[in-house]
Each structure stands twice: as C-alpha cells, then as structure tokens.
Chains A and B, each alone.
Chain A
Amino acid sequence: MSDDPSARTTPRKSATFSDDVNSDIRRAAQTGIYDIRGGGAKRRVPHFDDLLFLGASISRYPLEGYREKCDTRVTLGTRFAKKPIELDIPITIAGMSFGALSGPAKEALGRGASDAGTSTTTGDGGMTEEERGHSKKLVYQYLPSRYGMNPDDLRRADAIEIVVGQGAKPGGGGMLLGQKISDRVAEMRNLPKGIDQRSACRHPDWTGPDDLEIKILELREITNWEKPIYIKIGGARPYFDTTLAIKAGADVVVLDGMQGGTAATQDVFIEHVGQPTLACIRPAVQALQDLGMHREVQLVISGGIRSGADVAKALALGADAVAIGTAALIALGDNDPRWEAEYNALGTTAGAYDDWHEGLDPAGITTQDPELMARFDPIAGGRRLRNYLNVMTLEAQTIARACGKNHLHNLEPEDLCALTVEASAMSGVPLSGTNWVPGRQGY
C-alpha cells in the first residue's frame, strides 16, 4: 500500500445504507422490536419552504405595514352549529392528550391560546380541569377509545372534533405506555395503573360515512345543535376523505399531513404512511369547491406549521385556519438546549429528543413524573406560547399586506410560486419563472 494519500480514495459511505439506516438495523438486531417514538415525519418532503409569495407589483398594490388593517379573524362552524367558534387568529392548538402531556402543559396551552384569542383542543384521555379552566375556546376530541368521554364534558366544550385519523399515522391507533399511567391518568381512562393503554384505530360504534352521518346527528342531538362538529382526517386520500366528511355533515374538516406529530407510534408508520401536508391541501380544497362548500365548511390544516409564512401559504392555498402541535410544544420549551446535558444522558440531543412515550422528558412537558413536571411553569409557558402565536400572526399579516390583502383569507394561490417541480405539482401553483404546473393543463 502506498503512503501517498492521493493514491487512496476517501472513505465513502453509502447513501442507501447511511449511518441512520445502519443504526436502525443494529438496533432492530439487538432488541428484536421496532422503534417507537413521538413527533411527525422527520424525512425531507416538499413543504411550505418550497413555495414563495410573489408580493405586489404593478398589477397588485400593497397595503401599508403598521397602518392599513389586515384582518385575521376566522369563524369556524358556520354550516350547522348554532354557536360557531369565533377566533381572533386563524392559528389553533391541535389536539394533544392529557397523559401524553402533563396537566401543567395542558394548562399552558390553554393560557397561551386564550391570550392570543384562539382555541385549544383536548386529546385522548378526556377533558381536564386545567385545560377547560384556562381555555376560553376548547375543542373536545371524540376519539375511538372514548377514554373519559361523557355528555357533561361534551356539553361544556365549545366544539367537538371527531377524530378519524391523524397525519402521523393514518389508519393507526396509539399506545400510551405503562410508565406514563399515573393514578390520575388511569382513573380518567378507567384502566389499571401501569399497563399500556391502547388507543383504538377505528371507532367502536360506526364504520363508513353513512354511519358517521348518524353519529354526527346523535352528537348534535345531545348538544342541542350548538357545537360545531369538526372531522379530523389524516393525509391519506384528502379529496375523497374531505368529500365524505362534508357528506357526513361536518362543519369543519381538519386535515393533518404526515409531518403532524403524535405522542407515540412506530417510526416506520410515521415515516412511511400518509402524504405530506403540502400535497393534501389542494385536493381537499378541490373537494370543497366541487361540492360548493369552500368557506361554508371550513378547512383547518396541520402538520409542520412553524411560522407566519407557513400560515399565510396554507391560507393562500385555500385553508381557513391552521393548527399547531409540535411547534406549540417547542414554544413551551420542549427540546430546549438548556437541558442539553440531560438529553445527552438519555442518548440524544436537544432538537432530536422524541422518546416522549417514556415519560422522562427533561423539559417536564411530555411526562407524568412529578419531579420533572415541577420544572415546567404553566404561566411562563403560556406566555411563551402567546408570544409565539402573536409573532406568527404578525408575520402572516406582513406577507398578506405585501400581497395587497386586507384579510388573511384574501390570500390566494395566484400569490404563490413554487421552487421545485414537486412542490409545484403538489400545490398546484406554477414553478417559479414559468407558467407551468406539472400534471395540469391551462393553469
């Protein structure tokens, strides 16, 4: 062998068998079990970053920042509900369970959302006093497990969200592992302490859209037709699922793409089932338009919303509002580098921690451990969430004004272009510098 370095090739790792892939193989070989984690898809997929706003020009004039009004209000549930939800901003907090999150974390979500003029949402495990007491507008999830479900909570909710699926795992249920089942969680779910709690993947008393229509009738009858009924679907078949949700009588469709988070499921499920958020919006909007229901049935988009730019882009593509989950947890303090030493001790690093199901969260948010929970201040957390929501709203308004819009809902696909062929095809807006939308004629 020559000592001359130029005589050797540099070590080359396989793109197919990357370090991540190899570690997955070694872990599977060692443990004999698949990887379970929280969060949404981590793989790179076409997303809102692949879209740009065009801004004003000779044909469109802008509105003056800090002077001219740009409205952000949205009303959800105008189709059938006697009492639609009126929000100051079109950014809501997605459903996250008490059990997956601590009571103080749920309280902080309620505080922050209420201060910012928006709603928060329960999750699997029922309604807690923390979130009802601190949420001016609370959406009560109606889930397959029906943990804690009761008519009194149904009536004191401001809206009901029937969960058919979620973006992280369309077609999948959930599992809250035994280590997070405290006495309180166990009591709310009517199960023994310390056992794994399975959240069913489909509802126990209806199958298909015809049954769902009757289920909605029942819920409306129990709640005097007051509450908006949302239907939450994962990003599986957005055109058909939206069509069927409308047919079944939804007031609001909540559509969650594959970047949307979950408390815990198999990594293979998160990364390989479902479609990117960007790919789901236009088919859903098309379904609404084909049925003459766009803006009458509201569309809420979730899965990877991080900034006011993402909000503006989702609305420009036809959504009425968005929901945030992962971003809200980060605003509260999840994965904060201040806990880096402890993340390292858990074999991870800030920004990558996703073993929420183990209940060891150094930030004290995704845990039921009293000592860890005590690290989290719900008042300060709520303030951080409020600040973050306010910034997102200001950012979205900045963009809308630059596009000449006096309401965020006036943003439209024609305000956008795409940076990649894939994003163009998915979003239905032209590739930058062209008038071409792959797969469509005569845009």
Chain B
Amino acid sequence: MQTIDMATTSLRELNETLQAQSQATNQTQWQIDNPKGSHAMAVGLDAPIEVTIKGSTGYYCGGMNKQAVITIDGSAGPGVAENMMSGKVVIEGDASQYAGATGHGGLLVIKGNASSRCGISMKGIDIVVHGNIGHMSAFMAQSGNLVVLGDAGDALGDSLYEARLFVRGNVKSLGADCIEKEMRSEHLEILGALLEQADADARPEEFKRYGSARQLYNFNIDNASAY
C-alpha cells in the first residue's frame, strides 16, 4: 500500500504520481490521506490501480478516469467522475451536482444520495445510486444506464436519447420526451448485473424502466411546446 498525505503533498505531485503508473505497475494499492475537499484529485488516471481517498473531495474527483478503481471514503463535490472512460468510482457518502457528467464508460457507484443533474449528457457510463437523485438528472443522456434505488427529482430524463433509466422509488416528474417503458428480460439482466457490481441490496423486479419516447429526435415544429 502506497500512502500519500495531502497535508504534505501538492495536488500536482499527487496527480503526477498516480498518472505515472503504468499498465504493469506493481504499486496497485494507493491511499490518499487528508484530502480536505481538494479539487481535481486523482484525475486523468490510466492504469489498473486502486486508489482510496480517506475523506471528502471537491470538484471533479476521478475526472476522465480510465481503468483505475477510485473509492472516496466520504462525500464528493460537483462533477465527480466527469467524462469517465472506464474503471470504477465508488463514493461511500453523497455526491454533489453533475455526478458522472458526460461519462463514456466505466461504473460510478454512489452509496448515498446524488444531487441535481446526475448523469447529465452521459455517453455510455453506468451509474448506480443507492439513495435518491436530484432534479434534471440524466438530462440529454445519450447512452449507458442510470440506476436509482431511491427516488428521482423533477424532470427526470429530460430530452433523453438512448440511455436507460431504472428507478425503484418515486419519480417526482418526467422531463420532455421521457416515458416509462416496458421492463423486458434483457433489461432485468442488465439491471441485475449492475446491482451486483454496485453491491446494492435490491432486486431488479422492484424497478421501473424509463427511456426516450423518441418524439424529439428530429425537429418538428409541432413539438415546439414540448420544450
């Protein structure tokens, strides 16, 4: 286990050290102490390493991550795991706005609640939230899966493209062009696998699926009132 203490290490040194890890590194376990809400921690990683941050983080922790497994033993500020490409980010606490924004791949697990715009413009990432999510989540979400064990706020999935949304609790309201859809066997299969990977105590059958009605895919003046 390699330990980096942010009380005595600069952000630049932290990221430079973690980014320098190669595919074949044998230093695969990292612990970051005293994060104190620092921004842009563990960003741009691209190696099969495990990083545990012992405390809460500021903006954009795990941004553009590839391969690495990052665990935040606390809560995360805005834009956690933004534009993640692959790997895994786990937040033991809550996540602020824009969690997993524009993510292209990988798995984001939020064990607490997520604030507004969770999964905004997601492009292939999978997100599992054990608690609730805020308003405008999955706005313009393109692909990937958003799983919510709790409730969803207003305007879920507004202007959604092809992302799949699974919610176990209540949805306060659906956004433009987002509708409830039939849960078929292939969806139960996807959902079951994600729940298992996210260590979530729930059964796929308890969820409802939401997706795009695909009515706004090509501009039609008759739909102008939908916006």
A residues in contact (CB < 8 Å) with B: 31-33, 145-146, 149-151, 154, 175, 177-178, 190-192, 194-196, 198, 200, 204-206, 211, 214-215, 217-218, 221-225
Contact = CB atoms under 8 A, between A and B. Distances in A.
A225 B15 CA distance: 11
A206 B44 contact: no
B60 A215 contact: yes
7 contacts: A151-B83, A205-B98, A206-B79, A214-B39, A214-B58, A215-B59, A221-B44
Grouping DSSP codes into helix (H, G, I), strand (E, B) and loop, the B interface class, with mixed when no group exceeds half, is loop
A204 B219 contact: no
Contacts of B50: none
B24 interface: no
A1 to B, nearest CB: 45
A151 B161 contact: no
B217 A221 contact: no
Interface stretch (B25-33, B115-123, B183-191, B203-211): B115-123
B12 A195 contact: no
A221 B121 contact: no
B40 A205 contact: no
Contact of B123 (A151, A190, A224): A190
A218 B123 contact: no
Given A175-B219, A177-B219, A204 B40 contact: no
B82 to A, nearest CB: 5
Contacts of B159: 198
A337 B102 CA distance: 43
B201 to A, nearest CB: 30
A225 B12 contact: yes
Contact of B59 (A191, A218, A222): A218
A242 B124 CA distance: 35
B121 A146 contact: yes
B168 to A, nearest CB: 25
A199 to B, nearest CB: 10
Interface residues of B, number: 42
Grouping DSSP codes into helix (H, G, I), strand (E, B) and loop, the A interface class, with mixed when no group exceeds half, is loop
B102 A204 contact: yes
Interface string B140-175: 101100000000000000010110000000000000
Contact of A218 (B12, B63, B143): B63
Given A190-B143, A221-B12, A221-B44, A204 B121 contact: yes
Contacts of B140: 198, 200
A162 to B, nearest CB: 14
A204 B117 contact: yes
Given A33-B221, A151-B44, 10 more contacts: A146-B83, A150-B85, A192-B161, A195-B161, A200-B121, A204-B102, A205-B78, A211-B78, A221-B11, A225-B12
A145 B120 CA distance: 10
Interface in B86-112: 97-98, 101-102, 104
A218 B142 contact: no
Contacts of A191: 142, 161-162
A223 B40 CA distance: 12
Contacts of B85: 150-151
Given A178-B218, A192-B161, A218-B63, A146 B102 contact: yes
Nearest to B100: A205
B16 interface: yes
Contacts of B66: 151
A145 B139 CA distance: 12
B64 interface: yes
B129 interface: no
Nearest to B65: A151
Nearest to B162: A192
B46 interface: yes
Q: Which of B11, B19, B40, B120 has the most CB of A within 10 A?
A: B40
B123 A146 contact: yes
A149 B161 contact: no
Given A150-B104, A196-B218, A205-B78, A222 B121 contact: no
